[in-house]
Amino acid sequence: MTAHLLTATGVQKNYGPTQALRGVDFSIAAGEIVAVTGPSGCGKSTLLHCLAGILRADAGEIRYRDQDIGLFSEAARSRLRRSDFGVLFQFGQLVPELTAAENVALPLLLAGSGRQEARKAAIGWLDRFGVADLADKRPGAMSGGQQQRCAAARALVTEPQVIFADEPTGALDQLSGEQVLGAMVQVVRDQGAAVVLVTHEATIAAYADREIVLRDGAVDPTGLGVTP
């Protein structure tokens, strides 16, 4: 039996009258890459936010390393996100006033690292994503693909156990999207991190080890997703 790092059981989430998740079961093992696919509005982002402890589920259970994160306080969940999780969104959300190296160093500075140490680590991570030459450029001077590589470096710089990526290539053309994801898969494989990869694109889902398909807030038991 595989030891699961993160497990969701019967997760429900409503926004007013909208039942976004109707009892979703999900699990991911250490080092595994799982694609969550399905049509727009099926609940992918909501599931990702619940799993990452950003949203609180209305019912069901989410366990991370045998701890029920639903029982955690807001502060405890935010500590867990800083220490064990990394997030990457569709638009990298880099701080525009900061250079690439400063953006990537930020989570380390927030965690108490010294400036020089954080900059050195940040440049190392930019290098692993093939963008070390952009270290002193601001996001406005980079392409979308370059920005996403920096955002991926920032998501990984604290060496999280789980990366939550919500349509990380959704704003990129197919080629740069696949390049960013190819780089990310290589880096997370080296790192042994698990990835919850939300996408509606078949070519992106194909990078995952496994795919779960959501339809209308529930896992599609046929599992017929977007993977070609």
Ligand X SMILES: Nc1ncnc2c1ncn2[C@@H]1O[C@H](COP(=O)(O)OP(=O)(O)O)[C@@H](O)[C@H]1O
Residue 145's binding partner, choosing from Mg ion, ligand X, none, with beta-carbon cut-off 5 to 8 A by kind? Answer: none
User: Could you say whether residue 45 binds Mg ion (CB under 5 A)?
Assistant: yes
- Interface contacts to ligand X, rule CB under 6 A: 15, 18, 20, 38, 40-46
Q: Choose between 12 and 191: whose C-beta lies nearer to ligand X.
A: 12
Residue 103's binding partner, choosing from ligand X, Mg ion, none, with beta-carbon cut-off 5 to 8 A by kind? Answer: none
Q: Choose between 193 and 214: whose C-beta lies nearer to Mg ion.
A: 214
Q: Do 106 and 148 form a contact (C-beta atoms < 8 A)?
A: no
Q: Which two tokens stand for residue 81?
A: 């996100």
Q: Choose between 21 and 123: whose C-beta lies nearer to ligand X.
A: 21
Residue 135's closest CA among 144, 122, 145, 148? 122
Closest approach of Mg ion to the CB of residue 38, in Å = 10
> What would the 3-class secondary structure string for 62-129 be?
EEECCEEHHHCCHHHHHHHHHHHEEEECCCCCCCCCCCHHHHHHHHHHHCCCCHHHHHHHHHHHHHHC
Closest approach of ligand X to the CB of residue 18, in Å = 5
Q: Choose between 99 and 199: whose C-beta lies nearer to Mg ion.
A: 199
Q: Choose between 89 and 125: whose C-beta lies nearer to Mg ion.
A: 89
In the three-class reduction of DSSP (H, G, I as helix; E, B as strand; rest coil), residue 142 is classed as coil
Q: Which two tokens stand for residue 86?
A: 């990394």
Q: Do 33 and 194 form a contact (C-beta atoms < 8 A)?
A: yes
Task: List the end-to-end C-alpha distance of the chain, in Å, as a whole number.
Answer: 28
Residue 162's binding partner, choosing from Mg ion, ligand X, none, with beta-carbon cut-off 5 to 8 A by kind? Answer: none
User: Could you say whether residue 37 binds Mg ion (CB under 5 A)?
Assistant: no
User: Could you say whether residue 46 binds Mg ion (CB under 5 A)?
Assistant: no
Closest approach of Mg ion to the CB of residue 65, in Å = 26
Closest approach of ligand X to the CB of residue 68, in Å = 22
Closest approach of Mg ion to the CB of residue 26, in Å = 16
The edge-to-edge listing of strands for the beta sheet with 18-29 is 18-29, 4-15, 59-64, 67-68
Residues that bind Mg ion (CB under 5 A): 45
